[in-house]
Structures are given as C-alpha cells and as structure tokens.
Amino acid sequence: TLGDAAADVITFTGTVATDINFAKEVDHTLTVITTTTAATAGGAVIVKAGTGATSGAGGAVSITGGTAGATAASVGGAVNVVS
C-alpha cells in the first residue's frame, strides 16, 4: 500500500489527468506538515483553477459541502473559511 504509515513521505511530480477520489465514510484532511525550522513560516496551500486561453474565461473554483442524506433531519455539510 502506498503511503500506509504516518511516517511515509511520498513525492509526486507530474500531472493528475483525472479526478482524485477519496474513500467513503471517513474524513480526509490535506495538511502541510509543521515546519521545524526556527523563524520560518509554515507552507501555504494553494488551490488554483486553470487560466483561460485568448478569449476563454479562467476556470472556476468551487467548494461544496456534502449533501445531506434523503432522510436526514438536517441540511448538507457546511463550508467554513477560517483565517
């Protein structure tokens, strides 16, 4: 299994040609590891859509909370922006 231990380091360089799908029924977190270098800012996470060519519009960025189940007594998942 690729990256099956917390200490594993996986370096990926290239292009993902399709969607990235995560396993169901568990939470997933994308995290930049805490820096261990004194007086150094933590790494950023940047999500960027594609740039349009010539008169083409740039790609949109969408963040959508999960839809509630058909018989759930609640609304879908929240989207939180925290700075």
Q: What pLDDT, in 10s, does the model give residues 6-26?
A: 777 778 888 888 888 888 888
Tell me the pLDDT tens digit for each residue of 45-54. 888 899 999 9
Residue 78 C-alpha from the chain's centroid: 15
pLDDT surpasses 90 at 55: yes
CB 42 within 8 A of CB 35: yes
CB 30 within 8 A of CB 44: no
* Structure confidence at residue 25 (pLDDT): 85
CB atoms inside a 10 Å sphere around CB 65? 11
Dihedral pair phi/psi, residue 60, rounded to 5°: -85, 155
Split at pLDDT 50, 70, 90, the class of 1 is low
Dist. CA 31–CA 43, nearest whole Å: 10
Q: Give the pTM.
A: 0.61
* Structure confidence at residue 37 (pLDDT): 92
